[in-house]
Amino acid sequence: MMIAKGKGRGILVLLIATALLVVLACASACAQGAVAQGPTSHQDPVAPILVALGLILLAAKLGGEIFERFRQPSVLGELVFGILLGNIVLVNPSWNFFEPLRAGQITEHWAVVIDALARIGVILLLFEVGLESTVSEMRKVGLASTIVAAAGVVAPFILGYGASAWFIHEVPASILAVSPGFSIANIHMFVGAILCATSVGITARVFRDLGKMHLPEARIILGAAVIDDIFGLIILAVVSGLVVAAETGREVSVGSLLEIGAVAFGFLAGAILVGIYAVPRYLSIMARFRTRGVMIVSALLFCFLLSYLANLAGLATIVGAFAAGLVLERVHFKEFKEERSLNELLAPVTTIFVPIFFVMMGIQVRLESFADMNVLGIALALTAAAVIGKQVCGLVVGKGYDRLSIGIGMIPRGEVGLIFASIGKSLNVIDASIFSAAVIMVILTTLITPPLLKLSLQRFERRKPGSRA
């Protein structure tokens, strides 16, 4: 009875969603008409931004809702509805309102703004992720997590490189047009890097929903995911550095590779040191301010500063945002005369900005690229590499642990894989079809984890009924 009711509701939601999709399509067509009116109508330049932002937020919430009702993470819904928004143009060529967001070089003003909001969204997301973990927590998770994380980064990188080398034999023409003399090894390395980092959010949620957050496996996976993020960011820095070096004609040596790795590591270490000494002082000055909203603005200023410095150091801005979040701790904000915590204040802001990033990633997926069987092959090969690569995590932990569950728990790539893919796209290392394949990999790995993890945990408990209460 409960299931039937749940199912009925799910179908109801699906129906509402379909109806609204039609509305979306119409709105898209209308909006496009409105935009096409041109400057003589004295349209406020903010009007097309409001339309795009409104449609994106609506799609995000609809998609998130439907996927949550089917016990799937809402981020997947945002992604899938983004794919729908971006690809309604396949249904009717005049529903091309979102095309300016899919161009290789975004130039239309409203699209530039939406793109910037998505980029700010991912910075805020990494800042929030960083805020959730503290430096002292990182010290505690210890050796087991570090080993799991290291194995979970190396194996998928190698497998990803291999899968890419298997399918991609020549540099796509669109990349050669921009960077002649581009080495194909750069693509393989970037694909490998996309497969490295685990998105722990989904796994954490499954453990919580099953009431198994206290298991040692859960703690190992959560710890590994944090360290994993750091390894992933360093790999991203190294790979991006190699690509840029290659494009600007500098020679790539083992020395330069080590140098980029050292800069990335040094930046993170430096940020943490700065955090320990300077942040309390900075925040105690800001806490004396009496004007409204100083607390959230102080935190954002620090996040923007580190993101910018990371970029100056040749790293991705998200590395800085993550470091900023890692450094800021709850105790720093005690002096502020603010009733609510920083996380509570940030929540409404990230609720608006973060989904823009995921819907935007979906919009940029070109479904027509899967008409090419090769792209479909890449997508499936990447998914296989992503799944198999993380099983090594289970093999390296000591005896007595649920190895299969650890391996499965590390599978989802979620936002981190997407972020890496979008950086690869903006660096012009991977083209639209590899980007689309990466998005499909992210969707598949994220979709299979919750049911597999549930089964594997049940199986382990059945085998060892006495060992866990």
**Residue 200 or residue 392: which is nearer to its own copies going by CB?**
200
300 binds its own copies per the rule CB under 8 A: yes
* Count, residues near its own copies per rule CB under 8 A: 65
Distance CA 51, CA 49 (A): 5
Question: Torsion over CA of 417, 323, 295 and 64, rounded to 10 degrees?
Answer: 10
- Residue 48: φ, ψ to 5°: -65, -30
Amino acid at 307: S
Measured over all CA atoms, what is the biggest interatomic distance in the chain, rounded to whole angstroms?
77
Choose, by CB under 8 A, the member of 87, 199, 317, 369 that binds its own copies. Answer: 317
Instruction: Give me the least distance between CB of 422 and its own copies, in Å please.
Output: 11
Segment lying near its own copies (by CB under 8 A), choices 54-62, 126-134, 137-145, 455-463: 54-62
Binding mask 332-351 vs its own copies (x if CB under 8 A, - otherwise)? -------------xxxxx-x
Polymer length of the chain? 469
Distance CA 356, CA 117 (A): 7
Choose, by CB under 8 A, the member of 141, 294, 434, 437 that binds its own copies. Answer: 294
Choose, by CB under 8 A, the member of 427, 447, 448, 454 that binds its own copies. Answer: 427
Segment lying near its own copies (by CB under 8 A), choices 127-135, 152-160, 292-300, 450-458: 292-300
Distance linking the first and last C-alpha atoms of the chain: 31
E strands present in 111-238: none
Instruction: Give me the least distance between CB of 253 and its own copies, in Å please.
Output: 19
Structure tokens at 209: 């929903």
Choose, by CB under 8 A, the member of 50, 176, 331, 455 that binds its own copies. Answer: 50
Instruction: Give me the least distance between CB of 170 and its own copies, in Å please.
Output: 23
Picking from 276, 288, 285, 283, the residue whose alpha carbon sits closest to that of residue 302 is 283
Binding mask 58-87 vs its own copies (x if CB under 8 A, - otherwise)? x-xx--xx--xx----x-------------
Structure tokens at 406: 């650890």
Report CA torsion sign: 456, 462, 468, 469: positive
26 binds its own copies per the rule CB under 8 A: no
Choose, by CB under 8 A, the member of 29, 113, 158, 448 that binds its own copies. Answer: 113
Q: What share of the chain is helix, strand, coil (3-state, %, to 5)?
A: 80, 0, 20
**Residue 248 or residue 467: which is nearer to its own copies going by CB?**
248
Distance CA 380, CA 11 (A): 29
287 binds its own copies per the rule CB under 8 A: no
Distance CA 343, CA 169 (A): 47
**Cβ count near 7 (within 10 Å):** 12
Contact predicate 365/83, CB 8 Å: yes
**Residue 240 or residue 433: which is nearer to its own copies going by CB?**
240
Distance CA 409, CA 218 (A): 8
142 binds its own copies per the rule CB under 8 A: no
Instruction: Give me the least distance between CB of 387 and its own copies, in Å please.
Output: 27
Instruction: Give me the least distance between CB of 408 and its own copies, in Å please.
Output: 25
**Residue 47 or residue 210: which is nearer to its own copies going by CB?**
47
Instruction: Give me the least distance between CB of 453 and its own copies, in Å please.
Output: 22
Segment lying near its own copies (by CB under 8 A), choices 109-117, 163-171, 214-222, 224-232: 109-117
352 binds its own copies per the rule CB under 8 A: yes
Distance CA 114, CA 106 (A): 10
305 binds its own copies per the rule CB under 8 A: yes
Distance CA 152, CA 190 (A): 16
42 binds its own copies per the rule CB under 8 A: yes
Q: How distant, in Å, are the alpha carbons of 96, 97, 100, 126, 319 from that of 86?
A: 8, 9, 10, 25, 29
Q: Which residues bind its own copies (CB under 8 A)?
A: 16, 34, 40-47, 49-51, 53-54, 57-58, 60-61, 64-65, 68-69, 74, 109-110, 112-113, 115-116, 119-120, 123, 240, 244, 247-248, 285, 289-294, 296-297, 300-301, 304-305, 307-308, 311-312, 316-317, 345-349, 351-352, 426-427
